[in-house]
Structure 1
């Protein structure tokens, strides 16, 4: 198959696209409550360290393969392996990545649909003046309504696939160019507001003053896992983007900028959310409901609570929208690499992901008592196995391919940092990043197999 002809129009467009893929539920929904459950500042410090030591090298490996192959992931891996006299079956790594991203997008769309519902509820002022009990029950009432959950899931999938069908320059790039700056603007506005609340100083202490007495193996493992999940590596989505990367762009510089922007979103959202949480003496360890229960309770009695709460859920929706669009791209690119047009490929992918998403969407109502494996619902399965096991396994295979299969001259050229830069990257990837990925994988596998 010939190389892809589409390219990001500029270095900025590529950086915004990869940032859009990385920034999503992991930064705004998952980071605050996982940090809350793991001691705050110490978790954050470990998370940043693992982003640098593990996330960056593996992200470089994934984008490098796409840039060297200049094809969709399946075709790129097969072609690059054959060039070195290796089996074209390495393409199965990309096939596994596409399965992973398919499953991740199926639950991503469901949870993102929750943000649509809560955004509309916040705009209507539904939570203004409501009691904590009423607000706490609102999420359960919503999830128990199968028609409403599926409707929001469907709306979000339509929003996602319409953009993907438009292509790289007309769809993904144009949307990223205005949505990503808007996302950061909203975050800054919310942090400026947070600075006026009584819980602001407590939030800063919580996030930036680590207590090393809180260090436990579980905190380390959770920080490792979150660093992997939040960068969107291991599913070949970034490999697809590497194929569109401008020739004159520095890969290392671009990845460092993306990682910094990704961590910045987590930091800003953490400051904004924990300032509100501590101002109202709420529990920072309240788990996944922190965004959907604790914040509506806090804003319900605050001045300007309605627009501020709406801004939070708009922020969540924008982040998940850009991330979902970028997750869908490798699937659509792989299908449209044949005779299918991009709109038809996007339609097929959209329908299949939507159908798969019905299982987690109905796990709180119609299928609540269906627990196929280890007492877990479909929602439990799809939100734990793909992110916790499939992504690290995919990342491990990608890193191994880049360091042991990919032709050295192609890797050096794609990295764009010279022989010395390549040697540093290979050393860090082989002896630091890969062992850490194995640790992430084992920490997820052992509890599920025991």
Structure 2
């Protein structure tokens, strides 16, 4: 706190940095998939309602609390929350604002490195002449850290560390010379690249460059509403979840950035500007790239099938192949534009994730920014390498679920309760309007006090007890079967399959079908079991003893091979243990910092 206070250099820099925080990979890889899976054009109704009832109120809460904490000399979530209410528990609630950033950044920087690698491969023409299958296998090979697509040993790790070093360097440069400067470069380029691809998708014509349908067919499909979907609670919950992802809510990033505001800086106009900038990038640009281009070549049915596997499949397995249909020069331009767009979206978001961590190390230990940035890099490397080395073992999924989903909702719910019910809406309203040039409609007082906190409680409870397949008609006083992705289902390892022990002498089949092939690829051995619900390939070591042969019928739970086997559940449980240790270490560090610095949080609120 004795260090000179940093501040934003300009309103433009602030808005672009905040927009960069919000506009991330999910705008272009997650939103269009969510729209396809949840009623197309009808999805926009619950999405916009969620933006009004959840997004905007949470933006006001995080901007105003961040600004107030900054005026008291604090820039990290634990101490910012403590300034709002003198109860000591709030600084420990703020630990989730650090926890989620560390966990998300650990895998986010890895995904960010994919985009940088794909920019390189687009420029050098790696995908030129490849079939769709070959492009898809390229992605699989890239995720295998033992395989190199460039001749560089451990290529995935090299690009990951390169991205992490870049983040560290920018953070070490400070607010104005680092984060703000990068935002002023990256955000305009992101919008230019996005508009270029959107125009290309819109002008795609059937019969030209191998396209089967016009690009407009994809846009019509995406935005043709299926109003029957609005009766399904799953759609409304998906819309609310997307708002969290797209606005970077419940993470503490916004609070950290807002803590560098001056007393008379307007948070109403600035927060609304960044919010609507994000919505433009997501709804207008994000929806106009992946789906229209993919449908132009694959047709609606196949794209719907591919969308069920998420945005990574279309983004990294399909689009490089489709860009290749546009000719040599255009394929390079499109590849650089798309993956460059993703890289810019990724790095501006990861810088925002790093800022609360850097601020916490400065607040707690009095470190200079360079040392704190290096500390951030070490922490992310420590927790990030497991996602790189064991990506296919469930580590990434655990990080994403607990750090990138549950923690966000929990933190947002608790900070809203703090703001609306403990601080009180009267004082909160003054905080929002401190230095404001325009007034928020009075109806938002009611929204902030009742609707937003209640909705967040409902969302958290729904994620806790979600019924199987999101079928909410199953709810009954007699009980119901939980979905595998519900919090309780996750804790119970529901749906993990027959391989439930960390280590075992046998590996059991996880699907029913026929062994259609046993093969070696990239020096790895596989057994492929094909069934009615698709095929599944199981990797085994040469030292293992096979228990089946080609043509054998296999049921779930049948023995496939024998050996000293480490199952995925081992990596899953270790990931959970690591996450528990992380939250414990963060809370302990908060306690030590509180005692070490003898902070005074009892100063009365000054909102005049």
TM-score relative to the length of structure 1: 0.91
* Residue 188 (structure 2) aligns with: 181
In 2, the alpha carbon distance for the partners of 1:186 and 1:175 equals: 16
Superposition pairs of residues 187-336 of structure 1, within 5 angstroms: 187-198=194-205, 199-215=214-230, 216-267=232-283, 268-282=285-299, 283-285=302-304, 286=306, 287-288=310-311, 289-303=313-327, 304-336=330-362
**Cα displacement string for residues 51-88 of structure 1 (whole angstroms, at most 9, x for unaligned residues):** 22211101210111111121223222223322xxxx13
**For 2:325, what is the secondary structure of its paired residue?**
coil
Deviation at 1:3, TM superposition (A): 9.5
Identify the residue that residue 143 of structure 1 maps to in structure 2.
143
Q: By how many angstroms is 1:409 displaced?
A: 6.6
User: CA–CA distance in 2 between the matches of 1:158 and 1:439?
Assistant: 40
- Tell me, which stretches of 5 or more residues in structure 1 are unaligned? 369-376
Does the 8 Å contact 1:412/1:419 carry over to 2? Answer: no
Offset of residue 37 of structure 1: 2.7
* Cα distance in 2 for residues equivalent to 1:117 and 1:421: 44
Q: Which whole-Å CA distance do the structure 1 matches of 2:303 and 2:449 have between them?
A: 37
Tell me the distance in 2 between the aligned counterparts of 1:43 and 1:4: 47
Cα distance in 2 between the residues matched to 1:314 and 1:137: 22
Structure 2: runs of 5+ lacking an equivalent: 147-153, 206-213, 466-485, 490-608
Please report how far the alpha carbon of residue 122 of structure 1 lies from its aligned counterpart in structure 2 after TM superposition: 1.2
Q: 1:340 aligns with which of 325, 342, 367?
A: 367
CA contact (8 A) 2:421 2:449 kept: no
The answer as to whether partners of 2:324 and 2:331 remain within 8 angstroms in 1 is yes
2:69 paired with 1:69: yes
Q: 1:160 to 1:176 in 2, by over 3 A?
A: same
Map of 2:604 onto structure 1: none
Q: Which stretches of structure 1, 4 residues or more, deviate above 6 A after TM superposition?
A: none
The alignment status of 1:378 with 2:390, answered yes or no, reads no
Shift of 1:187: 1.0
Aligned to 2:447: 428
Separation in 2, partners of 1:281, 1:419 = 48
Pair 1:78-2:82 in alignment? yes
Partner secondary structure for residue 428 of structure 1: helix
Does the CA-based 8 Å contact 2:122-2:331 persist in structure 1? Answer: no
Cα deviation code 1:29-53 (max 9, x no counterpart): 2222232333332223322321222
How has the CA–CA distance of structure 1 residues 42 and 389 changed in structure 2, closer, same or farther, with 3 Å as cutoff? same
**Greater shift after overlay, 211-220 or 17-26?**
211-220
Contact 2:218 2:296 in 1 (8 A): no
Displacement of 1:419 in angstroms is 12
Q: Which of 1 and 2 has greater Rg?
A: 2
Name the residue aligned to 2:110: 110
> Any conservation in 2 of the 1:114–1:152 contact (CA below 8 Å)?
yes
Partner of 2:476: none
SS state of the match for residue 78, structure 1? Answer: helix
* Of 423, 428, 439, the match for 1:406: 423
Pairwise mapping of residues 431-442 of structure 1 onto structure 2 (< 5 A)? 431-442=450-461
Query: Structure 1: how far apart are the matches of 2:292 and 2:441?
Result: 43
Distance in 1 separating the partners of 2:427 and 2:368: 30
1:418 positional shift? 9.8
Compute the displacement of 1:140 (Å): 0.9
Q: 1:193: Cα distance to partner?
A: 1.7
* Conservation of the 8 A alpha-carbon contact between 2:42 and 2:229: yes
Q: Give me the CA root mean square deviation.
A: 2.2
**Partner SS state of residue 187, structure 1:** helix
Shift of 1:425: 3.0
Aligned partner of residue 85 in structure 2, secondary structure: helix
What are the superposed Cα offsets for residues 152-177 of structure 1, whole Å, 9 maximum, x if unpaired?
Answer: 22111111111111111111111111
Q: How many residues are aligned here?
A: 436
SS across alignment from 2:289: helix
Q: Which residue of 1 aligns with 2:130?
A: 130
Deviations along 1:306-365, one digit per CA (max 9) or x if unpaired, are: 221221001000100000001100110111123211100110111111110111112246
- Structure 1 residues 392 and 4: alpha-carbon distance in aligned structure 2, compared to 1, 3 A threshold: farther
For 2:32, what is the secondary structure of its paired residue? helix
Q: Name the one with the larger helix percent.
A: 1
Q: Is the 8 A contact 1:112 1:317 kept in 2?
A: yes
Contact 1:60–1:252 (Cα < 8 Å) also in 2? yes
In structure 2, the CA distance between the partners of 1:123 and 1:217, relative to structure 1 (3 Å rule), is same
Q: Assess if the C-alpha contact under 8 Å between 1:22 and 1:262 holds in 2.
A: yes
Q: Given the superposition, is the C-alpha separation of residues 409 and 2 from structure 1 closer, same or farther in structure 2, using an over 3 Å criterion?
A: farther
Of structures 1 and 2, the one scoring higher in RCO (CA 8 A, sep 6+) is 1
C-alpha displacement of 1:132:
1.0
Distance 1:5 1:45 in 2: 42
Deviations 1:157-202 (A, max 9, x none): 1111111111111111111112111111111111122221133322
- Output the TM-score relative to the length of structure 2: 0.68
Cα gap change, 1:420/1:276 in structure 2, threshold over 3 Å: closer, same or farther?
A: closer
